[in-house]
Amino acid sequence: MIKYKRIYLLITCLLILGIGIYAAYLLLRKPTITIYKVYHTAYPVEKNDIVVPIHVGRAMRRKGAEPLLSQMIGDDTGDNISFKNDRYAELTALYWMWKNSKADYVGLMHYRRNFCMEEEDIGAQCAGVDVESTCSLYSDCGVVYDNVLKLMQEYDIITVVTLTLKDTLREHYRIAHHIEDLELAEAYIKEHYPEMAEVFDEVIDGYEFNARNMFIMPRELMSRYAEWLFDVLFHIEPQISHDDGYQRLAQAYLGERLFSVWVRYQVKVNHLKTKGLYVYVLEKAE
């Protein structure tokens, strides 16, 4: 009997020790950050220890772009919707991130657009009247590990600084796209997510939104966003069919507006904190 008690005590001590070691590991481990930079065409590749280029639409194998883009990861691995890139644009990268990325914090930027995180720029050049300013190619614009981690320790979601339109988002969509697509999304959300109906109306019938489908947030939060967004977009997709190149990207355009709805809901209902950053458009040197 004493022998079994000693074995039980030993096992208990080992379990406690293991839990303690794991807890210490979690406290000491540096969170991982990956900002995916979306490329759909040949363009000089920018990357650093947290910025990872990703080729979207690789399953469609665009001609002429392959030599440069083949050097980066593609959105056609693992669980993916790469073959839908002609309708979803950068959202095929979001889907890939949702299903395949393991980083603690994840983000999405464009091949020519970076968040502006340099302190002197945030206070000066980036704080101008324009949401986007230009800078030379190969500048990381301050998107480095320490800057991102500092922001994520204070905020829950990083977005592009809020745009204010002269028309409501509904009217702007009516002018630029097919209003029927937005109405399909509206009907689905109000039926299946009635708790978001009020916020949907506030955003879509308001003048402010966060453009570009660009963000940084914890992976768990991104997963909740992606699960909601693709539930909406996949269910209405069969009812949307536009053949011209610009309007074929209806899902991507809807995604921009729905991102603003989701962010507003997180702020209003779940009391999450957001931070809007200005954007640098990276230009090739002449």
For the segment 104-149, what is each residue's pLDDT rounded down to a tens digit? 999 999 998 989 886 544 434 443 334 565 655 456 778 999 999 9
State residue 180's pLDDT score: 98
Residues in the chain where the model's pLDDT stays below 50: 24-26, 120-130, 137, 285-286
Bridge partners of residue 133, in order along the sequence: 280
11 and 70 fall within a common domain? no
- What is the extent of the structural domain holding 268? 33-279
4 and 124 fall within a common domain? no
State residue 124's pLDDT score: 40
24 and 138 fall within a common domain? no
Q: What is the pTM of this model?
A: 0.86
Helix%, strand%, coil% for the chain, nearest 5? 50, 15, 30
- State the maximum Cα–Cα separation within the chain, in Å, rounded to a whole number: 84
127 and 228 fall within a common domain? yes
49 and 180 fall within a common domain? yes
State residue 125's pLDDT score: 43
102 and 176 fall within a common domain? yes
Tally: H helices and E strands in the chain: 11, 12
State residue 22's pLDDT score: 52
93 and 226 fall within a common domain? yes
Residue 286 lies in a domain: no
Residue 187 lies in a domain: yes
Residue 232 lies in a domain: yes
21 and 95 fall within a common domain? no
CB-CB neighbours of 212 under 10 Å: 19
Phi, psi of 40 (to 5 degrees): -120, -5
Residue 141 lies in a domain: yes
Q: Are 145 and 33 in contact (CB under 8 A)?
A: yes
Domain count, the chain: 2
**Residue 133, SS3 per DSSP:** strand
- CA–CA separation, 253 vs 173, rounded Å? 9
3 and 44 fall within a common domain? no
State residue 167's pLDDT score: 97
State residue 265's pLDDT score: 98
**Residue 81, SS3 per DSSP:** coil
96 and 161 fall within a common domain? yes
